[in-house]
Amino acid sequence: GHGKLLGPAEIRDLAELLGVTPTKKLGQNFVIDANTVRRIVKTAGVQRGEHIVEIGPGLGSLTLGILETGASVTAVEIDKRLAEQLPKTVELMQPGVDLTVITQDAMKVIELPGEPARLVANLPYNISVPVLLHFLEHFPSIRSGIVMVQAEVGQRLAATPGSKVYGSPSVKAEWYGSWRTAGHVSRQVFWPVPNVDSILVGFDRRDAASSGDAAIDETGAIGTEEERLATFALVDAAFQQRRKMLRQSLAPVLGDTATASAVLEAAGVSPTERGEQLTVHDFLRIARAA
Ligand code: SAM
């Protein structure tokens, strides 16, 4: 059996006990299937004794799956009722495990206890990309992770230049490291059942030591904070008008079409290219040339 994890009956009972009606606004779709939970934890490669950070633990489905391996968890939940219940549920199902709950909007968290090495989460769909980027930006201790997101968002995160779905999330995610899809998840494993299927996405932060690039620090970032902001502004502009050539789409940021052309030439990028062909390194070179 799945004695240490939550199933459909437990999820229903907990929601009733708390008087919780899942809200769309907070992306509350709870996993009711223990096999899915174990699959996520296995895919994430969670190790005994590791410190994991989870965004949006909800009723605790995934939290219990992570804790079951002997890892410790710091969980950030915005919904007070869920955050208050979580330690009680965990104590009941797996007494004595190591859980810290932070009741806060994950987008506003800039400090975590200890140094979590991995991020494992079934992300609230409405903020999945910004919250991922926020955690990678603020917590360099996070070296890798597995997140569950809407299938379409996951495809975007893992997309490479030239692909139809390559867009600003793809380039921004690439700033921090490498991304891959790691398997589909049916909408039927959630309560309530969402309108779309989900996908697992894995990432590994760029490793300073093995990258051979002396400019890359422990955050895995390929440039300074100032350069990141300049690069992301270019990325946003390029994909706001993704069908246009870069000399046009980047003109609002770089000045005018002529200036944009000159900067692009200086960066070794053809002014008639489109953003969908460029890697994050290309965008950074343009930011540096500007
Ligand atoms: N991890 C649980 C599971 O797999 O069953 C719940 C996942 S549910 C898709 C997303 C969770 O994120 C909900 O519990 C929701 O309340 C929480 N959430 C939504 N917005 C949040 C935010 N800004 N900060 C932290 N948690 C948030």
On whether ipTM exceeds 0.95, the answer is: yes
Which residues are CB-contacts of 245 (< 8 A; sequence separation ≥ 6)?
A: 271, 272, 273, 274
Cα torsion 111, 112, 115, 118: sign: negative
Half-sphere exposure of 49 (CA within 13 A, CB side): 0
pLDDT score of 141? 95
DSSP classification of residue 187: G
- In this predicted model, what pLDDT tens digit does every residue of 51-76 receive, in sequence order? 999 999 999 999 999 999 999 999 99
Ligand 1 lined by 122 (C-beta under 6 Å): yes
Contact (Cβ atoms closer than 8 angstroms) between residue 231 and residue 260? no
pLDDT score of 216? 72
Contact (Cβ atoms closer than 8 angstroms) between residue 4 and residue 68? yes
Residue for token digits 């059996």? 1
Element (H, E) at 249: helix 246-249
Q: How far apart are CA 37 and CA 157, in angstroms?
A: 22
Q: How far apart are CA 268 and CA 180, in angstroms?
A: 28
225 burial class (0-12, 13-18, 19+ CB within 10 angstroms)?
exposed
Ligand 1 lined by 106 (C-beta under 6 Å): yes
Ligand 1 lined by 52 (C-beta under 6 Å): no
Q: Which atom of ligand 1 is the closest one to the Cα of 11?
A: 5
Q: How far apart are CA 46 and CA 60, in angstroms?
A: 17
Q: Whose CA is nearest to atom 21 of ligand 1?
A: 78
Ligand 1 lined by 120 (C-beta under 6 Å): no
Q: Ligand 1 centre and the CA of 35: distance in Å?
A: 20
Ligand 1 lined by 20 (C-beta under 6 Å): no
pLDDT score of 217? 72
Q: Ligand 1 centre and the CA of 212: distance in Å?
A: 38
- In this predicted model, what pLDDT tens digit does every residue of 4-33 receive, in sequence order? 999 999 999 999 999 999 999 999 999 999
Contact (Cβ atoms closer than 8 angstroms) between residue 140 and residue 54? no
- In this predicted model, what pLDDT tens digit does every residue of 188-226 receive, in sequence order? 999 999 999 999 999 999 986 666 776 677 777 889 999
Q: Which atom of ligand 1 is the closest one to the Cα of 63?
A: 1
Q: Does 1 score more than 50 pLDDT?
A: no
Which residues are CB-contacts of 287 (< 8 A; sequence separation ≥ 6)?
A: 223, 227, 230, 231, 234
Q: Whose CA is nearest to atom 18 of ligand 1?
A: 56
> 211 vs 14, 176, 184, 290, CA distance in Å?
47, 12, 30, 26
Q: Whose CA is nearest to atom 12 of ligand 1?
A: 56
- Which of 122, 187, 197 has most ligand 1 atoms within 8 Å of CB, for mutation? 122
Ligand 1 lined by 50 (C-beta under 6 Å): no
Ligand 1 lined by 46 (C-beta under 6 Å): no
Q: Whose CA is nearest to atom 14 of ligand 1?
A: 58
- In this predicted model, what pLDDT tens digit does every residue of 232-278 receive, in sequence order? 999 999 999 999 999 999 999 999 999 999 999 999 999 999 999 99
DSSP classification of residue 6: -
pLDDT score of 251? 97
pLDDT score of 192? 96
- Bridge partner residues of 177 (DSSP): 205
Half-sphere exposure of 170 (CA within 13 A, CB side): 22
Q: How far apart are CA 89 and CA 125, in angstroms?
A: 24
> 241 vs 167, 208, 248, 276, 281, CA distance in Å?
11, 34, 9, 10, 20
Global confidence as pTM: 0.95
- Which of 10, 18, 20, 26 has most ligand 1 atoms within 8 Å of CB, for mutation? 26
Q: How far apart are CA 50 and CA 32, in angstroms?
A: 25
pLDDT score of 209? 67
Q: Ligand 1 centre and the CA of 57: distance in Å?
A: 6
Q: Whose CA is nearest to atom 10 of ligand 1?
A: 124
Q: Which atom of ligand 1 is the closest one to the Cα of 54?
A: 1
- In this predicted model, what pLDDT tens digit does every residue of 92-149 receive, in sequence order? 999 999 999 999 999 999 999 999 999 999 999 999 999 999 999 999 999 999 999 9
Q: What SS3 state is found at 166?
A: coil
